[in-house]
Structure formats: C-alpha cells, structure tokens
Amino acid sequence: MPTQIEAKRMEVIIDMLQHIGMEKEDIESDFLRYLCHTLGRNITSEDYYLYKALSYAIRDRLMTHWKKTWEAYNEKKLKKAYYLSMEFLIGRSLTNNLLNLGVESETEKAMYDLGLNLEEIEEAERDAGLGNGGLGRLAACFMDSCATLQLPVMGYGLRYEYGMFRQLIQNGYQIEEPDHWLGVGPYPWEIERAEYTRVIKFGGETREYVDPHTGQLIVHWEHAEVVEAVPFDVPIPGFKNSTVNTLRLWSAQAQEGFNLSQFNAGSYHEAVAEKAGAENITMVLYPNDSSENGKELRLKQQYFLVSASLQDVVEQWKSKYKDFTDFAKFNAFQLNDTHPSLAVAELMRLLVDKEGLDWDDAWQITTKTMAYTNHTLLPEALEKWSVGLFEKLLPRPLEIIYEINHRFLTQVSMKWPADVEKQRRMSIIDEHNNVCMAYLAIVGSHSVNGVAALHSELLKEGLFNDFYQLWPEKFNNKTNGVTQRRWLAGCNPELRALLKEKIGEDWITKLTDLEKIEPLAMDAKFQQAWYEVKQNNKQRLAEMVERETGVKLSIESMFDVQVKRIHEYKRQLLNVLHVIHLYVRIKNGDTQNWTNRSVIFGGKAAPGYAMAKNIIKLINNVAQIVNADPDVGDKLKVVFFPNYRVSAMEVICPGTDLSEQISTAGKEASGTGNMKFMMNGALTIGTLDGANVEIREAVGDENFFLFGLQTPEVEELRHHYQPQNYINDSHALQSVMSLLESGHFNQFEPGIFNDIINSIKSPTDPWMTLADFQSYIEVQEQAAQAYQNRSNWLRMSIINSARSGIFSTDRTMKEYNDDIWKLEPITIKN
Ligand SMILES: *Cc1c(COP(=O)(O)O)cnc(C)c1O
C-alpha cells in the first residue's frame, strides 16, 4: 500500500497524464485506438462498433471531471439530494454527452476526416429504455438539469437487463420483443463499482430480544434470503460546466458462494436455480404505465432499490461522521411516485434496528429527509400491496409500517376525536388488509407535490384531501419540464443554428431567453427561415416514417401527431374518430378549403392492457383503408409509427405542426410530450388538462386550439352521461359511428372492435370520449384553416417556441431545490 503522500503524488501525475486533449486530432487518435486495439475492429466495421469506440473516447473525457465532482461533493460537509426512481428513460447518451462536453464540432470533424458520418454513428446507439414513459423520461431530464445547475444530486435506479419491450406491428397488432439494450459486449456509459456492493434481505422472520448491555429492546431480521446489489455508475455531465453527476443503477446478483450447503448436499440444480432467482430481480422492467401490477417480483424490485440506495447513503455518512445528529441537515430523498415509498420504512429500519436510534429521533430524520412526488390521479395506478405478501417478503419493514400507522392514527384521532370514519379512510393499512403506499409516502414525508398546477390542486381537493386538512403545509406544486439540451439543442440542429444567428446560445442554459425571438414573429424573412427549418425537419420525419411503415407523407401536408403511451384516458380513440370523420368528408366530397393532413400515431400498450392493444389495431386498420383509397390521395394519410421511444421522439417533435394533447380533463397529471412539441414550434390542440393549462396561459388563447369539457364539467356530467345523446345530436358523429359499426375497417375480422364501440357508447365510459367529439372536430377544422394562412401559422409557431422558457427542467429543478432540497450549487474547477 502506498502512503497517503505517495498516493497524492501519484494523483498529480495521473492528472497530468490525464489531461486529455479536446481537439479533433486527440479525439481521432483515441477513437482509432479503441476501435482497433480495444475492440479489435476497424474503420469498415459496423456502425455499432464505431459508436462504441467513439463512446469510450468521449467517456475518457468525462472521467477526470467525474472524479473531481465526486471529491468536491465529499470533501466538505454539504447537503446532497438523492432522486429515487424505478425508471430512468435515458435514451441515447453519445449525442447528449458530446453536446454537454462541447466537443460536437471537433468530433464531427474527426469523423469526417476518417470518411465517417457522425450522425450515422450516433444512430447505432441503442436507447437505454429503462422506463415506460413520462415519469421515467422526467427523471432523466431532471438528472441533466441538476448537473447543469451544478447541484449535488445523485440518481438511484435499477439496471434492468431488459428495458421497455421493442414494439413490432404485425397485421396491425402489437407484438412485444425483449429489449436487450446493453447490446453485445460492455455498455460504454457505465462503470461497475463492485466495491460498493450492498446486501439486501428478503423473507425470514423477526425476533425480539433485550440487549444485555443497554437493556434496550432490539429486533433482528433472521433467516432471510440475501441478494447482492451491485452498483453500475452512469456519468451525467452538466452543460459545459465540468460537473459530472452520478446515476447509480443497481444490479441483482446472487451472493458469492450462494447456498453452499445445498451445493454440498448434491442439490446442484436447486442451488443454481436459486442463484438465477436472485438475479431475476433486475431482469426486466415492468411495462405498465399508469397502472399498478401487484406482482411479487415488482415489490421485490422496489425494496431492492430502496434498501440498496439507503444503505449506500447511510454507509457513506458513517464513513465520515460519528452519529446521525446532522443527517437530516445534509441529506434529502425525493421519491419519484410511490414506487420507492418503502424508503420511509427502510430508513426507519436502518436507523432503529441497525444504528440503535430511538424511534422518535429516527422518525424526525425520516420525515425531514423524505419528499414525495405524486404522478397520477388514476385510482388504478395507486399502489397497494397485500399484508400477506409483505409478511412473506418483508416481515421487518411490515412491523415498522404497523408502528408508523399506529402512531399516525393516534395523531388523527387527536385532531378529529369523534371521526372514526376518517381514521378508517386515512389508515395506511386499508380495510382489505392492503398497505397503501401513497399514504405511507405522505405520512413519512415533509413535502408532497403534484406535477402541474391543476394536478396539484386536484390532489388537495380530492385524493389526498384528508391529508391536506391535516398537513396543508406539506402540499406544493412543481410543474414538470423537459431539458432543452436534448429536446431542442440536440434534436433540432437546424433550429439551433437559426436561433444562434438571431439570439445567440444563452438559451441552452436559460431557456426564457427564447423570448428574444418573439419580436421576429411577424418578420417575413425570419418566418421564411423558420418555415424552411420546419420543412426540413418534416422531411427527416417523413423519411423515418417511410423506412418504418412504407407510407410516403407529403411535407406540404399538416403533420398532426399524437405520440405517447396508449391509454384510454389519453384518448387516442377520439383522434381516430376524427380521422374517420375526415375520411367520411372526403368520401362525401365535402372538401372545400381542404387542408391536407398526415396523422401520425405512436406509442406502446402495456402487454396486459387488451383495450389499449385493440386501439393500436384500430388505428392500423383505419390507416390501411384510408391510405389505400384512391379517392383520398394526399388529402389524408394515417400512420402508426412502431416502437415509439426517446430517439424516435427526437425526430418526431421537430417535424410536428400540430401536437395532440387530448386527454379527458382532470386525468393527465402534467404531460411532458406537450412541452417538447411546443419548444420545437408545434401548436397544441388540447383540453384544459395537466400542463396544457399552463402552456395555454403562456402562449395565449389565440395561439392554442382549446376544446372539450373542463374538469368540474366532466365530474358533474359523470352522474348523467348519455353518450347516445351526442350521437343523436351530431350528424358527423352518426356517420362516424355507423361506418365504424358497419365493420368497414374490419371486413375480414368481424367483431374485433366491438369492445371499443361498446366502451365509447357506455354511459359509464370514464373517459367520456363522445362528449368532446363535436368540439374536437370543430377546433380541428379551425386548426386546418389556420394552417392555410402560412404567415399566421408561422407567427403562432414562433410564439409557441418563444414562450416555452418556463417548461425547462432547469426551472423545475430550481423550484425543487429552493422549496424542498435547499442545496448549495458547487462549482467544479476545470
Ligand atoms: C416525452 C415522452 C413521453 C411522455 O409523453 P406524454 O405525451 O407526456 O405522455 C413518453 N415516452 C417518450 C419516449 C417520451 O419521450
């Protein structure tokens, strides 16, 4: 072992050696060295190997700063925040890391000199699809913004072997294929840190005994099965600021020397099967968005994430400080939905059982450090786990939850002494013996936030009203955002160049600067430049659509896009009904002042969600009929773009004219797709739901296509909803429904859409699709007419982009930090 002084000297030498050049020649030679010497390939190899070699070369350029950032965060006593999330929908990393490192143009030149095309190499990277949709993508955008704001924030998640499934479309149906995103050979954007392996317990039982020295009652969790959590660290560079934060993803591994006794007794198979069982925990991401799944393995995943991450933080703390007096002053945990809400019980367990703290002290620490973000109002998404499953898998955390609940209900009964009903309603354990994870999260946190203004209000009025009455001070709003590094600078290079020419590039870290283009909104020359950028982006999108679907789109048509998870509340069905309406109009010759349209759908359905899968089939069947009809031609094209994912959205949102955000009012918590489209100059057609409300406030009523019932109207109508009345009252809807019911779109597959038809005609349809049909088609027609006035459309497009500044996650993260975490930004010296 070297002495401290020797080690320090070595570091200085290494630092000097490591001063890696950022010039074209440096990148070129490192790239070639990795390609030929490390990977054993050459310049004519598949793009995939070129991407790997280039990624290693770029990763090298992050390492020194990564280490410096880590040291800066650990040498002084400073507060840190930990973002706990079951999902990080990262997508590709190479493009983003080139941008944030500021080496895009040198890299592009280096590749060009070698006769290679950087864009093609970038496209060989597979998406890291470790999330379902908005919630997971938000976590990834948050990480980017925290690094850019120089905040000491670390992400904790799971390293699923298989991410979100790959979606194929066969005969109009969704087919799911496993997504081995790690690819062949090591993934270049992670570093295994086996030295920080943690041990996680499942099963067994608890035993109480009295400590002979202190006389204290101690609980032991015994005879548990143990699984190792091995961390893999992913670097998260800030934008040109030398900060490189860490996303730590845990991978499950059987403990070394697993079950040797069984092994020796000759139970080779059983022992190996058990090893495989342990490693199952992080095998696959559950592909359900906005719905709970109640599977044993899912609960194991949740506890695995929470226990590994909290042990990691507690151990780091103990390595530096003698006790936990200051722990709450220097640590903050943000729970991304209820998925990691077991953190409340697990931190109590670690502090009480392992560290010997009093319950009350431990509870102080827990509630001061935990904060909970709610992402949905849908009842079917609220996680509940049966007490039976808890007893079997997590006996000690369950006892702790019982104790938390007991003390909490005492508090409730003191506040409302006569109200037994209230105690029953608020109990963390419900009347069916389920643990309500949202209630555990609220009780154990000092902050509870929704993700858009409307959503946060609805939480206080509805779902969490009892808790709001008890603790109004806990409730707050943090409207979501997206990172403009990926969602504008990275994905729309032509618009970036135009913006640079007019207003410079400060908007890359200060998005409200986009306001500076607003004075140009009516400038004919600027409009023309804006138009050309949009047309080029539509061309790029049209080429991608043709490659994937074979359908040719005209870039002269209006690109009308709805891409997001397929869910009834998002109402892709309403959009399909509008498409059928347009088709009927064409067939009837009702086409005066027609605006040609290309309607693009995309999104995955949860594999067990039959209705959502059937909606995909309907879209595809309608597309087939419409696209094949010679009467239709360019007037209308319909495509279902398969395998919607982050890298697809990077092409889709720059090429969109009209963004469909048409959920039933009160159901979409925020939406973030809406913000990506707006930033890239699309106009929104939408309901007053989620962040649409704030988007409309920002752009003004005249630059937004609003339709549909509002939340209170939806709730009122529920009591006497009669969809048949809407059909009777609307000629257009009658034609659409009769064509659909006639089997016109499923001539060879009779009856396959009956469930869809019945659902929208049912008085209990929770999404009230038909109630909004008439106002939707009217506003769609307004949008179509507006599109014909090119100059006015361009003005609106420019204004949408110009006023998207508040929807940067830089703003969102600043608010989390100012109101909840209270961290000091740390400058990392270059
Ligand atoms: C932004 C994004 C989402 C979220 O879209 P919403 O329209 O807000 O539901 C989902 N999936 C991907 C791949 C995204 O990029």
CA angle 73, 79, 81 (to 5 degrees): 90
Average pLDDT rounded to a whole number, residues 172-192 = 95
Contact in structure between 378 and 667 (CB atoms under 8 Å): yes
Active site residue 79: no
Over 60: is that where the pLDDT of 429 sits? yes
Residue pLDDT, tens place only, 313-369: 999 999 999 999 999 999 999 999 999 999 999 999 999 999 999 999 999 999 999
Nearest Cα to Cα of residue 251 among 276, 279, 225:
279
* 801-815: average pLDDT: 98
pLDDT in tens, 485-514: 999 999 999 999 999 999 999 999 999 999
Domain ranges of the chain: 77-92+127-479+817-821, 552-807
Residues 195-222, mean pLDDT to the nearest whole number: 93
With a cut of 90, say whether residue 379 has pLDDT above it. no
Q: Average pLDDT for residues 71-87, to the nearest whole number?
A: 96
Collapse the DSSP code of 252 into the 3-class scheme (helix H, G, I; strand E, B; otherwise coil) and give the result: strand
Residue type, 372: Y
Mean pLDDT in the chain? 96
Q: Are strands 597-602 and 636-641 parallel, antiparallel or unpaired?
A: parallel
Whose CA is closest to atom 1 on ligand 1?
673
In angstroms, rounded to a whole number, what is the distance separating the alpha carbons of residues 781 and 76?
Answer: 61
714-727 mean pLDDT = 97
Q: Which of 672, 675, 676 to mutate to test the pocket of ligand 1 (most atoms within 8 A of CB)?
A: 672
Instruction: Assess whether 502 carries a catalytic annotation.
Output: no
Mapped to the 3 state alphabet, what secondary structure does 792-803 carry? HHHHHHHHHHHC
Question: Residue 648 carries which side chain, given as an amino acid letter?
Answer: A
676 is known as an active-site residue: yes
Q: Is 552-807 in the same CATH topology as 77-92+127-479+817-821? A: yes
State residue 689's pLDDT score. Answer: 98
Alpha helices in 77-228 (DSSP H): 94-101, 104-113, 118-122, 134-148
Q: Which of 641, 640, 605 is nearest to 622 (CA)?
A: 640
Residue 260 has pLDDT above 60, yes or no: no
Listed in sequence order, the DSSP H helices in 552-609 are 572-587
Distance (Å, whole) CA 561 – CA 639: 10
695 Cα to the center of ligand 1, angstroms: 16
The span from the first CA to the last CA of the chain, in angstroms, equals 30
Which residue, 168, 57, 60, 64, is CA-closest to 121?
Answer: 57
pLDDT at residue 259 above 70?
no
Position 121 scores a pLDDT of: 98
Annotated catalytic residue 565: yes
What percent of the chain clears pLDDT 90, i.e. is strictly above it?
91
Give me 315's structure tokens.
């151990």
Q: Let me know if 329 is a catalytic residue.
A: no
Tens-place pLDDT, residues 564-620: 999 999 999 999 999 999 999 999 999 999 999 999 999 999 999 999 999 999 999
Ligand 1 proximal residues by C-beta, below 6 Å: 133-134, 137, 564-565, 645-646, 649, 671-673, 676
Task: State the catalytic residue, choosing from 65, 300, 565, 617.
Answer: 565
Any idea what DSSP says for residue 284? B
Angle at which helix 610-628 crosses helix 754-761, to 10 degrees, equals 110
- 652 and 610 in contact (C-beta within 8 Å)? no
For tokens 């809400």, the residue is 341
290-303: average pLDDT: 90
| Ligand 1 midpoint to CA 600 (Å) | 15
How many Cβ atoms sit within 10 Å of the Cβ of residue 652?
27
User: Of all atoms in ligand 1, which is nearest to the CA of residue 649?
Assistant: 15
Collapsing DSSP to helix, strand or coil, 184 comes out as coil
Which H helix or E strand runs over 389? helix 387-393
510 is catalytic: no
Percentages (nearest 5) of helix, strand, coil residues in the chain: 55, 15, 30
Q: Which atom of ligand 1 is nearest to the CA of 603?
A: 11
The residue among 457, 448, 429 whose CA lies nearest residue 711 is 457
Q: Is the pLDDT confidence value at 538 over 60?
A: yes
pLDDT of residue 18: 58
In the numeric block, the tokens 């099963």 are attached to: 203
- The pTM of the whole model exceeds 0.85: yes
Catalytic position from the list 52, 59, 300, 375? 375
φ/ψ of residue 235, rounded to 5: -75, 140
Instruction: Compute the distance from residue 112 Cα to the ligand 1 centre, in Å.
Output: 33
Cα 156 from Cα 52, distance rounded (Å): 25
Q: Can you give the pLDDT at residue 697?
A: 98
Q: Which of 179, 646, 677, 807 has the most ligand 1 atoms within 8 A of CB, as the residue to mutate?
A: 646
Question: Catalytic: which of 107, 483, 672, 812?
Answer: 672
- Among 32-41, 249-258, 757-766, the range scoring the smallest mean pLDDT is 249-258
Chain mean position to CA 81: 19
Q: What is the DSSP letter of 544?
A: H
Q: Are 342 and 397 in contact (CB under 8 A)?
A: yes
Name the closest-CA residue to atom 6, ligand 1.
673
Neighbours of 775 (CB within 10 A): 14
| Fold classified for 552-807 | Rossmann fold (3.40.50)
Q: What pLDDT is attached to residue 292?
A: 77
Q: Residue 184: what pLDDT?
A: 87
3 state SS for 455-499: HHHHHHHCCCHHHHHHCHHHEEECCCCECHHHHHHHCCHHHHHHH
Task: Give mean pLDDT, residues 43-61.
Answer: 97
Q: Are 102 and 27 in contact (CB under 8 A)?
A: no
Amino acid identity at 810: D
Rounded distance from Cα 90 to ligand 1 centre (Å): 12
Closest residue by CA, ligand 1 atom 8: 671
Whether residue 429 contacts residue 387, with contact meaning beta carbons closer than 8 Å, is answered with yes
Fold topology of 77-92+127-479+817-821: Rossmann fold (3.40.50)
User: Atom of ligand 1 at shortest distance to CA of 676?
Assistant: 1
Closest C-alpha residue for ligand 1 atom 7: 673
